Structure 1
Amino acid sequence: MLLGLTVKYGGPPLRVTCNSTWDGLTCWPPTPAGRVVHMSCFPELRGIPYDTTENATKLCQLNGTWARKADYSHCRPVDKNSSVDGISRHWEQHLENAKLLQDIGHAISLFCLVFAFALFAYLKSIRCTRNNIHWNLVATFILRNTSWFITQEVLTVEAVRDKSWYCRAVVTLNNYFTSTNFFWMFVEGLYLHIMVADAFNSERFNLGVYAMVGWCMPVPIIVAWVLVKVLVQDEGCWVGSNYYDYIFHGPIILILLVNFIILGNVVRILVLKLRANPENPESAHYSIKAAKATVVLLPLLGITYVLFMVHPSGQGTSRLVFIYFNSFFQSFQGTFVSIIYCFTNAEIRNAVKRRIHLSRCRQQDFV
């Protein structure tokens, strides 16, 4: 093993050390110059467990700087037929099932979203502020799901270790599309609240204002995050959970809380309006109607994410239930939005029927 380098400055020798650093996979501790550090391999990457009994290594060079790359060649996925570091085959299978569920959910959602987007684009007769907002929300889901698949392919151990520019670009775009998705959920909540609370002034804002909120407001947030990553924590592929990510996670959490409040107020207003008409036979079922409205609005406003903001730790049953439900709701949310606000939308279905009827009439006239 190499000896640490010392520098004399007229007093006791000062040992040169490499500062602690995070490369996107491992936190390397402060190390004297000339030493090779051995750290346990990361436990998980992209939902796949890795063998933590093996070690990754990184050299602290004689000048007090870390080597450009760490050696992760010994870090390998856990063998399905063995139990390593307390992770049982049963638990490994659940993790793989959850990953498969996410792949299937995002694929089905992407298919439904593209079809819904095409319907919104084709049916010009339904164009209004409400449906245009739905259209933009569907577009953000398409971009978010697409970037999710690209990220899964790009985010490899080699890309993270080599600090690849394309890996960072993909992560940045994924964060931007995720942010725009949540900002358009906020636009949906804002417009819904205006419609319910003050229907006569529902058109006080035109679509341009909503577009500024949905597409433009995330830009300075992501730019600030990129600058912090470049100037303060320029490590790895800019992945991994740390407090710098709250630059864009913070506004998303705030949007979810605001939409949660909006949902509660909308349901309250609906209940009050139904109760205000006791002669109406439907008023007797106001609680059922309010419950249905709440369930329908959950995916539109992203409230399902609030249910999974705090997750259990460990490898117990509660953790497994959380993983499956979280994977299901996050990956199939685009499907829910497409079905509720496009495929089962009476206005869109009637417009499609009119188009089909008009097409048949033209064919008969031509014959």
Structure 2
Amino acid sequence: MESSPGCIFVTTLLHYLFLAVFSLSLCEGMMVFTLFTKPFYNGFFHQMSFYMAVGWGLPIPIVVISVAASHDNYGLYYNEERWACWISEDNGAIWAFTAPMIIIVLVNYFFLIISVFKVYQLKMYKQKVTAEQQSKYKTARAILISILALLPLLGGTWILGLLLLFDSDSEPLAWIFTILNSLQGFAIFFFHVLRNKEVINVYINDSKSPEVA
């Protein structure tokens, strides 16, 4: 059985967007890591274009290679006598999604461990830190707290997804995975917008600024 063009399109889109979520989280980890380890570095790694290129561009070659390598059954996922538009497990194509996900989660944990160490180091040597360093560390620490709150949800959810690969008949596991996945968008909005003082301050200042005729 061959996959239809529509199913290939849906699977390609899902594959790309899911990988983009993780590659963008990698960019966030890189940004926090750079802010803590190189507080005065304002070069290429602080340019938004770099993060956008990595976040949205990194998944493209992975998806393209996956589609080219398993074109005949890419988009045919079989589970419990039902077909779905997703990456097939039969020929190992599913690892084109799971392998990058695992690598990115592990790299992000490395970035977070180093960043948390830098936070405690900053507290120990607080008197030696300049005002500019304090400002950058304060911003980075706020982002770090948000990532620490989100990573168990983002990473933990897809760990459940990996378990479903080996136990696809587990309905409770599938329900937990679905519910946690559906909460990710709200969690990102809550921690990165509602609890972000810089975003709130910008919104308040914009709302108070007089309109120019």
Which residue is equivalent to 1:182?
22
Task: State the Cα deviation string for residues 190-211 of structure 1 (Å, max 9, x = none).
Answer: 0110001111115442222222
5+ unaligned residues in a row in structure 2: which ranges? Answer: 77-84, 128-141
**Taking structure 1 as reference, are residues 297 and 235 closer, same or farther at Cα in structure 2, changes over 3 Å only?**
closer
Counterpart of 1:244 in 2: which secondary structure? Answer: coil
One-letter identity of the residue aligned with 1:355: D
The yes-or-no answer on 1:216 pairing with 2:57 is yes
Higher relative CO (CA 8 A, sep ≥ 6), structure 1 or 2?
A: 2
Which residue is equivalent to 2:209?
358
Distance 1:208 1:175 in 2: 23
Indicate if the aligned counterparts of 1:256 and 1:306 stay in contact, CA closer than 8 A. yes
One-letter identity of the residue aligned with 1:273: L
The yes-or-no answer on 1:347 pairing with 2:198 is yes
**Taking structure 1 as reference, are residues 238 and 328 closer, same or farther at Cα in structure 2, changes over 3 Å only?**
closer
5+ unaligned residues in a row in structure 1: which ranges? Answer: 1-22, 24-161, 279-291
The yes-or-no answer on 1:335 pairing with 2:176 is no
**Taking structure 1 as reference, are residues 335 and 203 closer, same or farther at Cα in structure 2, changes over 3 Å only?**
farther
Indicate if the aligned counterparts of 1:229 and 1:238 stay in contact, CA closer than 8 A. no
**Taking structure 1 as reference, are residues 303 and 261 closer, same or farther at Cα in structure 2, changes over 3 Å only?**
farther
How far residue 174 of structure 1 moved from its aligned partner, in angstroms, is 0.9
Task: State the Cα deviation string for residues 261-290 of structure 1 (Å, max 9, x = none).
Answer: 111111111122213349xxxxxxxxxxxx
- The 5 Å alignment of 1:2-151 reads 23=1
Which residue is equivalent to 1:307?
156
Task: State the Cα deviation string for residues 318-367 of structure 1 (Å, max 9, x = none).
Answer: x83x55543333221111111221123222222222222224xx59xx9x
Task: State the Cα deviation string for residues 118-145 of structure 1 (Å, max 9, x = none).
Answer: xxxxxxxxxxxxxxxxxxxxxxxxxxxx
Aligned length: 185
Between Structure 1 and Structure 2, which shows a larger proportion of strand residues?
1
Of the two, which has the highest radius of gyration?
1
**Taking structure 1 as reference, are residues 199 and 186 closer, same or farther at Cα in structure 2, changes over 3 Å only?**
same
Q: CA RMSD in A?
A: 3.3
Counterpart among 39, 54, 58 of residue 199 in structure 1:
39
How far residue 294 of structure 1 moved from its aligned partner, in angstroms, is 6.4
Task: State the Cα deviation string for residues 42-96 of structure 1 (Å, max 9, x = none).
Answer: xxxxxxxxxxxxxxxxxxxxxxxxxxxxxxxxxxxxxxxxxxxxxxxxxxxxxxx
